[in-house]
Every structure is written in structure tokens, then in C-alpha cells.
Amino acid sequence: MDILSSREWAIVTWIIIYLCITIFVLKVDFTDVFKSFFNKKLSILWISILLYNLFITIILSYSRYWNNIYIKDIVFWIVFSCITSTISVFDQKKIFFFKKIILTNITVSALIEFIISELTLSYCLELFFIGIFLPINLLFLVSQTSLEYKTAEDVLKKILSLINIIFVVYILVELYKSFNFLLSQETWFKFIIPLLYSILCSPLYYIFIILNDLNFLEDILGWLAVILMAIILRFTDWYILDPLLSLVISFFILSKAIPRFWSTLKIFLDAVPEGVDIKQVKSRLEQLDYVASVNQLNLWTMDGLEKNAIIHVCLEHVKHMEVCKESIRDLLKERGFQNVTIEVDSSLMNHAHHKRCVDELKSLDEHEH
């Protein structure tokens, strides 16, 4: 029981209980969740985080202040802080993101949370209080989602306030009894570890932001090239490098601009959206139940984002029209088509007539060209 505190063991116990109830009683399947969480790109991200923090830990372990008991706190910090901070990096648009991360670890509330986490009760009491506190807290969060639960929200708020008051009184009493515990080197190092690792992981967050924003990466490379060239020209007379650098930057910009221009041009020409195989889509439509044949299939996009489709099909029987339309819409929605227009022929005779008219128009158009 020395590895984890009594509170941490109580939390682990309740997590295991909730997982068992979810898996064996409620029959919830977490397979898709695990597959999503450990897909190829995210796996690279998690491995990068682990290797980077392992590298930092190995370097810090050579310090004379190092103690192996800090490993537990480092693991907890990686799981509950570093990973969540890394995920939030990809949603950040503000330049003050790193400042926010660091300040979060040195606020008064962070110090109070740290003290509360260090001053624990016995395992049985922790198990009891956490078993009460977690459901109440979850219900309070749910009650905030709608005005209908306003009464329940007020009641739960009072209950949580009462629990917090009890905790504050307990903390004050324990601090009075063992104030020297706060002054120990071990305690302060446990508090400093999250701040230290947050600062040392800032370069990793910065790299993730750069890799997530290609335009930002291009700007950084451009600035570095210009600065490097200015330094070289300051100490040498290799002036030929200046126009050469201009040509390199120009070709780099063209290599990025031409594919985008081509994509935009295809949008203007109402071409099939990128990543969509029209032959495969048509084949899948013809394999749907009750579909006799596909006469017309037009796929296009107006802005590169919203995809449109017009389908003309012939059914085996008109009574299957609604079922067939729903199947077609589901098939196209899976491929990212938002706007779908479906025209249905009620008989093979009408379908053959429509198809003959379309073929005549195509042959006339080819003859004119």
C-alpha cells in the first residue's frame, strides 16, 4: 500500500468497480473506443509523449535531489495532465497557451489541491467518501445541462458545499497537527514536479502545434532561411546565395500553390470530389436491394467541403421506392455527401425511354465536337 496513497487506492478501486459494472452488467463494448484511442496517428503521439518524458526523467535522475518515489507523481502527471494538455494543443489558437499551462500549476488553487491530495484519510474512509462524492459530482454536472434540473442543481450545490466545508475543516486540523510535513523537501519536490515537467514539455507542445499547422511550419522555415542567409552574408561575400534562396522559396511556394489551384479548378468545373471513385459508388448503388439499374449519377462539390449528388435509378418494383431511397441516402452519407437528389423510374419501359434520350443527347454532343 506504500506505492499509492489511501485516496489513490480508493480511486483505483472505484474505477475497477465502475468498469466491471459497465462491461459485465450494462454490456458496454469499449472495442471501438480503444481502436480510436490507439489508431496509428494517436499511437505515434502517445509514444512521442512517453519517450520525451522518459528522456527528461532519465536526465533528472542524475540530480542529487532525485528520489525514485517521484516516479509515481510523474506517471500521474503524464496521464492526467500531459496527455490532456497535448490534446488541447490542437484546439488552441492563442499565443498564450504555454503561459496558461505554466500558470495553472502555480496558482493558489493548485497549491490547495496539492495539499488536499497529500493529506489523506484511511482507505475505508476514502473509499466511503469518494463513493459518495463522485456520484453527487456527476449528478451536479448533469443538472447544469438543462433548466429543468434547476431545483436539483441547487440541492446538489448545497450538498457539495457542505462536503467542501467538511474537507476544509479537516485540512486545517491536519495542517495544525503536522505543519512540518509542508516544510519537508520531499513535499515541495512533489509540488514542483508538475510545474517543472510542464516547462520542460513546452518544446514538445510547440512541435505538435507546428506539425498540426502546415502554414505555420512554412512561415517558420521561411523565417529561418532568411535569418540564416543574413548571417552567412554578414561574414562572407557569397551574394549569389541571395537570388538562389529567392528561387528556392519561389519554387516551394509554387509546389504548394499549384496543387491547390488544380483542386480549385476542378471544383469550378464540377468535377467529381477528390477521394471519391465514381465507378465504385455506381457499382455499390447497383448492388443495393431492389435496384434494377442506375441510369444517371452526378457527383460534384461547390466549395470542396459540401458534396452533392443526383441519382437516377430504376427499381424492380415501385412499392420499394421509400426503402430504396433511404438505402441510397445512407450509402452516400457514408461517403460524405450531404445533399442527395434521387429520381426513380416506376417501370423498365420509362427507364429505357429516359436512358435512350440521354444516350441520344450524348451522341449528339460528341458529333458536334
pLDDT tens-digit series, residues 131-147: 888 888 878 877 877 77
- Stronger pLDDT, 96 or 316, i.e. the higher one: 316
C-alpha torsion angle, residues 14, 18, 20, 23 (rounded to 10): -160
Contact of 197 with 56, CB cutoff 8 Å:
yes
| Interacting residues of 22 by C-beta distance below 8 A, sequence separation 6+ | 28
Return d(Cα 195, Cα 238) in angstroms, integer.
46
- For domain 278-368, the CATH architecture is 2-Layer Sandwich (3.30)
Question: Which of 314, 312, 325 is CA-nearest to residue 292?
Answer: 314
Instruction: Give the per-residue pLDDT at 221.
Output: 62
What would the mean pLDDT of 141-163 be, rounded to a whole number?
80
Residue 126 identity: E
Measured CA to CA, the distance from residue 171 to residue 120 in angstroms comes to: 9
Distance CA 190, CA 175 (A): 17
312 falls in which pLDDT band (50, 70, 90)? confident
Q: What does 67-126 look like in DSSP terms, one character per residue?
A: -TTHHHHHHHHIIIIIHHHHHHHTT---TTHHHHHHHHTTSHHHHHHHHHHHS---HHHH
Rounded mean pLDDT of the chain? Answer: 75
Write out the H or E segment, with its range, that includes residue 295. strand 291-301
Bridge partners, 340 (sequence order): 309
Q: Which three cell numbers stand for residue 314?
A: 430504376
pLDDT for res 100: 60
> What does the domain layout of the chain look like in residue ranges?
6-210, 213-267, 278-368
| CA separation for the pair 259, 316 (Å, rounded) | 44
Share of the chain above pLDDT 70, in %: 76
Distance separating alpha carbons of residues 50 and 161, to the nearest angstrom:
38
Name beta bridge partners: 300: 308
Measured distance CA(123)–CA(222) in Å, rounded: 58
> Which of 328, 268, 325 shows the shortest CA–CA distance to 300?
268
pLDDT value of residue 344: 80
Q: What is the dihedral of CA 84, 89, 91, 93, to 10 degrees?
A: 150
On whether the CB atoms of residues 324 and 355 are closer than 8 A, the answer is no
In angstroms, the CA 314 to CA 163 distance is 68
Q: Copy the grid coordinates of residue 323.
A: 426503402
Asked whether the predicted pLDDT for residue 79 surpasses 70, the reply is yes
Taking residues 304-314, what's their average pLDDT?
81
Contacts of residue 136, defined as CB under 8 A and 6 or more positions apart, other chains included, come to: 156, 159, 160, 163
Adjacent-strand bridge partners of 311: 297, 342
Give tens-digit pLDDT for 7-45.
Answer: 778 888 988 888 888 888 888 777 777 777 777 777 777
Report the percentage of the chain scoring pLDDT > 90.
0
Angle in degrees, 0-180, between the axes of helices 202-212 and 97-104, rounded to the nearest 10: 150
* CB 139 within 8 Å of CB 156: yes
Output the pLDDT for position 369: 52
Strand partners for 315: 291
- Distances 231 to 57, 217, 221, 245, 317 between C-alpha atoms, Å: 36, 21, 15, 13, 77
CA nearest neighbour of 340 among 356, 355, 353, 324:
324
Q: Inform me whether the pLDDT recorded for 95 exceeds 50.
A: no
Instruction: Express each pLDDT in 318-365 by its tens digit.
Output: 777 888 888 888 888 888 888 888 888 766 566 566 665 555 555 655
Give me the pLDDT at residue 364, please.
56
Which range among 174-183, 266-275, 310-319 shows the weakest confidence by mean pLDDT?
174-183
Give the model's pLDDT for residue 104.
57
Question: Would the pLDDT of 128 be above 60?
Answer: yes
Structure confidence by residue, pLDDT tens digits, 186-210: 677 777 777 788 788 877 777 776 6
Average pLDDT over residues 84-95: 60
| Low-confidence winner among 37-46, 65-74, 119-128, 129-138 (lowest mean pLDDT) | 37-46
On the question of pLDDT at 220 being above 70, the answer is: no
Res 1: pLDDT: 43
Q: Is the pLDDT of residue 85 over 60?
A: yes
Q: What is the pLDDT of residues 242-296, one digit of tens each?
A: 788 778 877 877 877 788 788 778 777 777 887 788 888 888 888 888 777 777 7
pLDDT band of 111, cuts 50, 70, 90: low
What b/e sequence results for 246-275 when a residue is b if at least 16 CB atoms lie within 10 Å of its CB, and e otherwise? eeeeeeeeeeeeeeeeeeeebbeeeebbee
pLDDT band with cut points at 50, 70 and 90 for residue 6: confident
